[in-house]
Amino acid sequence: MAGVLLSRTEKVFIIDGVKDEYRSDGRSTIDYRPMELETNVVSHASGSARLRLANTDILVGIKTEIDVPKPDKPALGKIDFFVDCSANATPEFEGRGGEQLANSISNMMQRAYQSPQAFDLKQLCIFEGKQCWKLYVDILILECGGNLCDAVSLAVKAALFNTKIPFVKAALMDGGNIDLQLSDDPYDSKLLDVGSAPLLVTLCKIGNKCVVDPTAEEEKCSSVSLIVGVTGNRKYYSDDDTEELPAFQPKCSAISMHGPGSITTTTLRNAINQGIIAAVCLDEALGKTVVRERRDIEKFKRHSYGFLK
């Protein structure tokens, strides 16, 4: 995505490596690089998260606002994604340079979150047909090291998990208008149910194989990449293990292809399966991490790290 130059021989080296299922840092085609996550990094946002995957650095902040629901969907809230590519990531993003990439990521996120099985917008409803919550998800790309989509979706899910929505204390009906009184107490708030929120998995086709978590160099070698959005499992995000949940089946909520190349039907089918398996593993790892962090906060064990240190 970002401008990396590679010589022909370096490309041959990477392509042969993928053929042998042995990438230049020793990973096989299905391994992810280690990630680091911190939630609640922006104090004035309702929810926030920062994810670092090797050199890819993503900051997500979520703002809540009261809005009027759409007339055709009176019982649903709204969610809006906005991606900003910081020129710090690469000089190409300066001015309007990153706009195309930003739009493609935000469209992909929007589509993945559209399905009611992926993210339940009913929980954002306040008064049916009158008022609802609107979530503004602001995604800031601070550094590009390949695999932006996966990192963005993980960070967004972590930030949504961390989002607090204030309770409505009282509502005054004045003719057709509703005047809401919100609770001022930051602890008097509800959390969102984000267990089923989708994660995106990018599968980069290099040679005849697909790899997950491509580095920027590997992205340069691939002619086409497939992005699948797969719904998450509520089980990994609930605190108490006793709660009975229905059997979980991962579902694909969005698929898109990027790049000028093409994929045969068998490769496509294999790639989608590989993506779903990867998404389930990612989901489990993310769930464990965010639940662990929440427990640490409850015990006041946590120090804020942020960007300094």
Partner 1 sequence: MTEHVSIRLASERVNHCVSSSNDTPRFYTPGEVISGMQDFMRGHGTYVEEDCLKSSVAGVMQKVNKLICVRPLKSRYVGEIGDVVVGRVLEVQQKRWKVETNSRLDSVLQLSSVNLPGGELRRRSAEDEQMMRKHLKEGDLISAEVQSVFTDGSLSLHTRSLKYGKLAQGVLVKVFPSLIKRRKNHFHNLPCGVSMIIGNNGFIWISPKPQGMMVDGNEDEIINYEMQPVDSTDREIIARLKNCIAALVASKMMLDDTSIMFAFEESLKYEEVKELLDPEAMLDIAFLTQHRLNNIMEE
Q: Please tell me whether residue 34 binds partner 1 under the rule CB under 8 A.
A: yes
Distance between CA atoms of residues 215 and 226, nearest Å: 15
Q: Please tell me whether residue 43 binds partner 1 under the rule CB under 8 A.
A: no
Q: Please tell me whether residue 308 binds partner 1 under the rule CB under 8 A.
A: no
Q: What is the x/- site pattern for partner 1, positions 138-157, by CB under 8 A?
A: ----------------x---
Residues 246-285 that bind partner 1 (CB under 8 A): 277-278, 281-282, 284-285
Give how many residues touch partner 1 by CB under 8 A.
Answer: 47
Q: What is the x/- site pattern for partner 1, positions 178-217, by CB under 8 A?
A: ----------------------------------x-----
Between 17 and 77, CB nearer to partner 1: 17
| Cα angle for residues 38, 120, 42 (degrees, 5° grid) | 25
What are 57's strand-pairing partners? 52, 143
Q: Please tell me whether residue 294 binds partner 1 under the rule CB under 8 A.
A: no
Q: Please tell me whether residue 33 binds partner 1 under the rule CB under 8 A.
A: yes
Q: Please tell me whether residue 286 binds partner 1 under the rule CB under 8 A.
A: yes
Between 53 and 102, CB nearer to partner 1: 53
> In angstroms, what CA-CA distances link 76 with 99, 130, 237?
29, 10, 23
The 3-class secondary structure across 83-139, one letter per residue, is EEECCCCCHHHCCCCCHHHHHHHHHHHHHHHHCCCCCCHHHHEEECCCEEEEEEEEE
Distance between CA atoms of residues 116 and 292, nearest Å: 27
Between 129 and 306, CB nearer to partner 1: 306
> In angstroms, what CA-CA distances link 118 with 76, 172, 189?
14, 33, 23
* Minimum CB–partner distance for residue 29 and partner 1 (Å): 10
Q: Please tell me whether residue 5 binds partner 1 under the rule CB under 8 A.
A: yes
Distance between CA atoms of residues 58 and 49, nearest Å: 8
CB 161 within 8 A of CB 193: no
Query: DSSP letter at 177?
Result: E
* Minimum CB–partner distance for residue 35 and partner 1 (Å): 5
Cα 8 from chain centroid?
A: 34
Q: Please tell me whether residue 36 binds partner 1 under the rule CB under 8 A.
A: yes
Q: Please tell me whether residue 17 binds partner 1 under the rule CB under 8 A.
A: yes
Q: Please tell me whether residue 302 binds partner 1 under the rule CB under 8 A.
A: yes
